[in-house]
A = this chain, B = another copy of it.
């Protein structure tokens, strides 16, 4: 059987565009004499549709799209994801379904059994789980259709009480097709292959895996769809971060596909490519072209600016340099050098006069209290107001430059440097930001060397360094990783060997800053635990430390 996997970049709610993309790929597949073409989970509406699923009008549009797509399926079988209505009279009102289309109509729909409801996933919010299994005959082959998480009830983390792959095997499946919407993290491709290998091994069946590609606000889908032999080996794989259609032939008797190319990439390379796509799709799908970045001369704004230039083009990124009386000379020079290396426009606005205007008005209210946090934040907020004024005037989107270490410990000013439409580095620890800068510079100096080597500083008071307020970033990031990504509590962190005073200091900073993170722009997710929709902590609470 000749099978095509269509790895496409859908736009949530854009039925016209999504449907057209699907129809085009069906035609391509037909032209190449394909028997079965597979599209990803909830392809017709895009993933994740979130609370759009609660709107009847939205579900009607999904089902209209399915009918339209079905009319193009003479001589070919199509598997495509869409929601379907639960007509049983009890349970959630929808199923997350795979529609099997051929001969111009809907032949069947198969519902998702395991509904991921953790981290960024909320599927039981909308969908009723499937409870009965059946296979679908395509070109004489019994095919078991599974939807993403259906293959993720794995040995070391059996989150569910059912294992659909085994149920499908028992029903006679000779091949498993998995349609997915599996978001990127830098470990995800390896984990996916591991998890699907476990399914192949325990069923002895080959697997066709079709993933989304493209970014939807904070979530980036990396694609990397593949054909897996029954022994768990990947036979061929589609590219990461771009649309494609790959075709393979399965030999059902041997359970093997034809061998082709396999994808891989280093952690930093994957994060780099993911962030570029994340920025690109955010702008494109919202209908914007240009970004504004406040350039401090520091590494976070430099990396953000360079990534934005790669995503949008050098002409479409605009830097604003806003030195204060506490800015060092090199900060302006480094920021200018960055913009010039990139060939991007920039302006300089010194903020001292504006600062003085505030100071004049606040002095009588502050009644002689000394310079402190209020005045430091004031500078950051003046910069926030300036970039937002430019954003409103020119209609460009401000990119936020906070990194994950800062976001974690609250080392940033709400409505100041924490402003923006999208946070590019909010899921990248500071230590990885340095590596990203090196990666960006691998062929030529884009980010000035001095920006990379100088000690990080917020420059909000004389001779300030990050290290005055924070532990060294390598230590900080290690503890944060255990607390954020691995959900180790304070007692467990101490048991891991971390100094108790250090743990207390870091965790307290993280905890008291939940209120700030609540108001952060959406953060492009590149790890398996990002701030935002995947991490839901109370603001008002007594924390364990």
Contacts and interface: CB of A to CB of B under 8 A. Distances in A.
Nearest to A356: B357
Contacts of A216: 538, 540-541
B384 A46 contact: no
A388 B415 contact: yes
Contacts of A497: none
Given A57-B492, A421-B515, A541 B389 contact: no
A347 B365 contact: yes
Interface in A268-317: 281-282, 285-286
Given A361-B353, A365-B347, A419-B415, A544 B374 contact: no
A392 B373 contact: yes
A119 to B, nearest CB: 9
Contact of A393 (B161, B372, B386, B536): B372
A50 to B, nearest CB: 5
A61 B544 contact: yes
A542 interface: yes
A373 B392 CA distance: 7
Nearest to A285: B540
Nearest to A361: B349
B13 A55 contact: no
B91 A158 contact: yes
A519 interface: yes
Interface string A1-32: 00000000001111101000000000000000
A522 interface: yes
A202 interface: no
Contacts of A366: 393
Contact of A122 (B11, B122, B488): B122
Contacts of A60: 491
A45 to B, nearest CB: 9
Contacts of A159: 90-92
A381 interface: yes
A262 interface: no
Given A91-B159, A537-B50, A358 B354 contact: yes
Contacts of A351: 361
A273 to B, nearest CB: 19
Interface in A197-229: 215-217
A91 B14 contact: no
Contact of A217 (B50, B360, B365, B539): B539
Contact of A161 (B90, B124, B358, B518): B90
Contacts of A360: 353
B543 A13 contact: yes
A363 to B, nearest CB: 11
Contact of A487 (B11, B55, B357, B369): B55
A58 interface: yes
Contact of A13 (B384, B492, B536, B538): B538
Contact of A55 (B115, B489, B542): B489
Given A117-B117, A160-B90, A360-B353, A11 B57 contact: no
B385 A385 contact: yes
Interface string A373-415: 1100110011011101110110000000000000000000011
A140 to B, nearest CB: 36
A541 B46 contact: yes
A52 interface: yes
A194 interface: no
Contact of A282 (B52, B350, B489, B540): B540
A56 interface: yes
A489 B365 contact: no
A392 B374 contact: yes
Nearest to A515: B421
Given A12-B538, A12-B541, A89-B158, A385 B382 contact: yes
Q: Which 5 A-B pairs have the closest CB atoms?
A: A57-B489, A374-B392, A357-B357, A14-B542, A12-B541
23 contacts: A12-B540, A12-B542, A15-B542, A17-B542, A50-B537, A51-B536, A55-B488, A56-B489, A56-B492, A57-B490, A91-B159, A117-B117, A117-B125, A217-B538, A217-B540, A282-B540, A347-B365, A350-B361, A351-B361, A354-B357, A356-B357, A382-B385, A519-B520
Given A11-B541, A91-B159, 7 more contacts: A52-B538, A91-B160, A122-B122, A125-B536, A354-B357, A358-B386, A519-B519
Interface of A: 11-15, 17, 46, 48-52, 54-58, 60-61, 89-92, 115, 117-118, 122, 124-125, 153, 158-161, 215-217, 281-282, 285-286, 347, 349-351, 353-354, 356-358, 360-362, 365-366, 369, 372-374, 377-378, 381-382, 384-386, 388-390, 392-393, 414-415, 419, 421, 487-492, 515, 518-522, 533, 535-544
